[in-house]
Structure formats: structure tokens, C-alpha cells
Structure 1
Amino acid sequence: MDGTLVDSEKVWDVALHELAAHAGGTLSESARLAMIGSSMATSMRILREDLGQPDRDEPADVEWLERRVEELFAEGLVWRPGAMELLRAVRAAGLPTALVTSTGRRLVEVALETLGRENFDVVVCGDEVSAPKPDPAPYRRAAELLGVPVDECVAIEDSPTGMASAVASGAAVLAVPAELELPPTDGVHLRDTLVGVDPAYLATVFARVTT
């Protein structure tokens, strides 16, 4: 979701810097980049280490952060280039579709007001899986709920963490970088943008990765 479908990483950027200031510190660029695509628990650990405050109350920080992000999400999210068009084309083609995100259900429910609940048969959130990305569990769970073998799925990702999760799950992977540069990776088809991607293109990605 974040960085792949909508340009919400900038929202997280604002909220995380505000949280660091609320804690009396400043979030470093390296720490912020390390959080992209990570679970909430991982991001909060990075925050504590970066601020030099290992004993911070994680539940309190999570509540503060989620409340602020919820406010920002409610103001509206901006689609990534080509993402809305691709999602509409996939739905028009009748393909089963899952949203697989590291973001928790509370915030995903707000984001779905922009994304459209009707565009997904399944939504798997970061706080609803046995292990978060980069573990393959989120994508395997999504495939299970869709009733489709995971090796017959194409996952679209934007971060190294998400990419690792999708590859490990056994799905074919199309990766389009947003905030982070993505290195060439076996089993991953890299592309600069989702503009011009349609179901027929996804079929070629699947064929390239699985043959």
C-alpha cells in the first residue's frame, strides 16, 4: 500500500519526525530510510535506538503515531503514477486481488476510503499476520484467503523489505521503487513506474519470473 499504490510514505515521514520531536529528539535520515516497508515494531525499535532512548514506552509511541497518521490519512492520499489505472484494469479483468501491507488495520481502514474497499477481495494488514514483512507470511496468507496458490500470483512491491517478503513467498514479483533504490534481484522484475502496466503486462512478468 504505502509507496506502491499511494504516496503515503511522505505522510509517515511527517508523523515520524513529529514523534521524534515530541520525544525531544530528531530522527536521522538513515533511521527514517531503514523504517520504510518495515513493521511498526521494527520502526519503533529503530526510533528508540536512533534517539538513544531505549526505555521509551512503545505502546504510547504507537498510539501517538497512529493517531497522527490517521489524521493525515483522513485528509486524503495521493495515488502513485499508474497505480489507480492498473488497479481498475485488474478488477475489470476479474482477477482476484489482495492488499498486503505492513500497516495496521486501524490505518488501513482510513486508507481504504481513498483506495476503494471494492477493489480488494482480501486485505492482509501488518498486525494480522504471524510474522511481518520481510517474512513471507503476509503474502502466503493473502494467497490462502484468495484460494489461489501463491506461485500463481504476482506481487507488486516498492521496498526491499516488501520485495524480500514477496520473493520468499514464492510469488512472481514486480518491483517499482518509490523512496528507496531497489537492487537487481533474482526472481524480481524491476520497472521505473506502474504507468503502462496492465493485466497483459503482469502476465508477461509472471512468465519471465516463472520460466
Structure 2
Amino acid sequence: MPRIKALLFDLDGTLTHTDPIHLRAVQHLLAEHGLTIDEDGFREHVSGQSNVEIGLRLFPCHDTDAHVALLNRKEALFREFAMDLVPLAGAAELMAAARAQGVKLALVTNAPRENVDHMLGAIGFAGHFDTIVYGDEMSRPKPDPLPYLTGLQRLGVEAAEAVAFEDSPPGLLSATRAGLFTVALTTTRSEQDLLALGADLAVADFADPRLVLLREAFVLED
């Protein structure tokens, strides 16, 4: 394990398990338009994707303006349903240990700002990050490496000095393409699938004893 100066986290499915709530919101939205989706369809077409991509996949016959309105409705439903979020086990402790050693923290997410504010407030992580990268607002969201490269640039660290935490194929691709050592959370996919997608390590949560090595690699800020 190289010396670590920064940790970069995805949000949905990584710091808190939200896919069941997003599935409920998407199913509710589609039902309003006489459509349906099951868990497999959600995993393939929605989980981890940017809203631009989700709109194209779920409503291919609608134009861009309609996609924006439809996905805004979906996100409002998500916030309505996501009232009892909790952080994954060990997440708060890992971040506290990192901050105590001067390790920088970034959030790199495809989620829209309103959702990010809602989720961070719900799990008690508001104000915990040195920077937040909203991939959905960038010219190239995940799975492009740009969101993670932007996070590294803002933190002033090299990829070899940082670790990313992800759970979805688009997020894993984004992080690995940026050259980051990537830990995958098995909230939505199996360990085997995540390792096959390029994760360097797959864990159920941040309390996994294998992450002790991560803490040992923290370095004090220069």
C-alpha cells in the first residue's frame, strides 16, 4: 500500500445504501407513465449512471428538456422516500481517522446537488469534505475519469497518493481510469463482479479488517 494523502468517496451505494430507495423512486416515476422496471433493469440502466444517461435509457422517445423534467421528478421522489438513511458501518470512523492524520477527503458523485445535500445531512457527513465534485454537472460524468481527475487536482495530490471508494460499474471505471487504487463496496454487486470490473479490493463496509492496512498508510499533512 502506497503512502496515502487523500481519500475520494462516491456517495450513493458507497457511503450509504440507497439503491433500494432509488429503485422505488424510478418505479414510481415509470408507473406514472405506464412503464415498469425490475431490479435487473434498474441495475443495468440506472444504478451509478448520470441523469443524462438515465434519461436516454428510460425515456428514449423524449427530448432533452423532457428528460430534465422527468429526472427532476425522480430525484424529488427519492428525497421524499429517503428519510431514514444511515452511513455504512465504519465510514465515520475511517474519515475521522483520516482527518486526524491530515488526509484530505473528497466526495465524487454523479448525484445532483439537492440529493447530495439531503443525503449528507441525513447521515451526518455534511461539511466533512475538502471538496465535492458533482460529476453530473461536468462535461463528462462517470464513467469518464474526469470527475476523479478533477477531485485529485482540487486536492493537490497524485493518483498514486490516493484511494477511491465506489460501488457501481460507472464509478469503478471512472476511478480506475483516473489511475486510483479503488476499493469497491458490495452494496449492489457481488465481490466477484466488482473485482472483475477492475476493483483492487471489495468489502462489505468500511469496518472490514482489511482496511486496517489503509489506516496504516495515512501520512501526516506536510
Q: Is the 8 A contact 2:109 2:136 kept in 1?
A: no
Higher relative CO (CA 8 A, sep ≥ 6), structure 1 or 2?
2
Secondary structure (helix, strand or coil) at the match of 1:156 reads strand
For the 8 Å contact 2:109–2:135, the answer to whether it is kept is: yes
Contact 2:142 2:174 in 1 (8 A): yes
Partner in structure 2 of residue 106 of structure 1: 114
TM value normalised by structure 2: 0.81
Q: Which amino acid aligns with 1:37?
A: G
Give the deviation of 1:88 after TM superposition: 2.4
User: 1:99 touches 1:122 (CA, 8 Å); kept in 2?
Assistant: yes
Moved beyond 3 Å, runs of 4+: 196-200, 203-206
**1:36 shift after superposition:** 1.0
Q: Give the aligned partner of residue 61 of structure 1.
A: 70
Equivalent residue of 1:117, what SS?
Answer: coil
Structure 2 unaligned blocks of 5 or more: 1-10
**Is 1:163 matched up with 2:172?**
yes
8 Å CA contact 2:23–2:39 kept in 1: the answer is: no
**CA RMSD in angstroms, aligned pairs only:** 2.3
For 1:197 and 1:144, the matched residues in 2 are separated by 30
Q: Which runs of 5+ in 1 are unaligned?
A: 207-211
In the TM superposition, what are the counterparts of 1:107-146 in structure 2 within 5 Å? Answer: 107-113=115-121, 114-146=123-155
Q: What is aligned with 1:209?
A: none
Counterpart of 1:148 in structure 2 is: 157
- In structure 2, relative to structure 1, the CA distance for the partners of 1:67 and 1:193 (3 Å cut) is closer
How far is 1:132 from its partner? 0.9
CA change 1:55–1:98 in 2 (3 A) is: same
TM (norm. structure 1) is: 0.85
Among 201, 205, 208, which residue is 1:193 paired with? 205
Structure 1 residue 151: Cα displacement:
2.6
Between the aligned partners of 2:210 and 2:105, the Cα distance in structure 1 is 14
For the structure 1 residues 111 and 165, does the alpha-carbon distance in structure 2 shift closer, same or farther, using more than 3 Å as the test? same
What's the counterpart of residue 3 of structure 1? Answer: 13
The answer on whether the counterparts of 2:182 and 2:200 sit within 8 Å (CA) in structure 1 is yes
Q: Which has the higher strand share?
A: 2
